[in-house]
């Protein structure tokens, strides 16, 4: 796919003027290897663990404030 073909495709999909699309500099990105399962797992947040850590920090601050 050429840059002009990409610009026209994006223009058709978005309804924007082809010149505007060209100025924004859309490009194809296909040179990155696909994510592996380990990569995806690193993106997952364990919200319960985060909430527990925050609650522990709050409890420690409260305890330290009451001791002082």
In the block, residue with structure tokens 């850590």: 53
How many other C-beta atoms lie within 10 A of the C-beta of residue 21?
Answer: 19
What pTM, to 2 d.p., does this model score? 0.42
> In terms of residues, how long is the chain?
68
pLDDT tens, residue order, the chain (68 aa):
889 999 999 999 999 999 999 999 888 877 777 778 888 888 888 888 889 999 998 888 777 777 66
What ranges do the domains of the chain cover? 3-67
Contact status, residue 68 vs residue 41, Cβ threshold 8 Å: no
Gap between the Cα atoms of 27 and 51, Å rounded = 39
Residue of 4, 1, 36, 46 whose CA lies nearest to 22: 4
């Amino acid at each position: 796919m050429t840059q002009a073909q990409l610009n026209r495709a994006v223009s058709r999909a978005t309804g924007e003027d082809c010149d505007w699309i060209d100025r924004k500099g859309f490009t194809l990105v296909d040179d990155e290897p696909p994510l592996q399962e380990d990569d995806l797992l690193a993106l997952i947040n364990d919200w319960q663990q985060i909430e527990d850590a925050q609650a522990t920090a709050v409890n420690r601050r409260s305890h330290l404030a009451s001791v002082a």
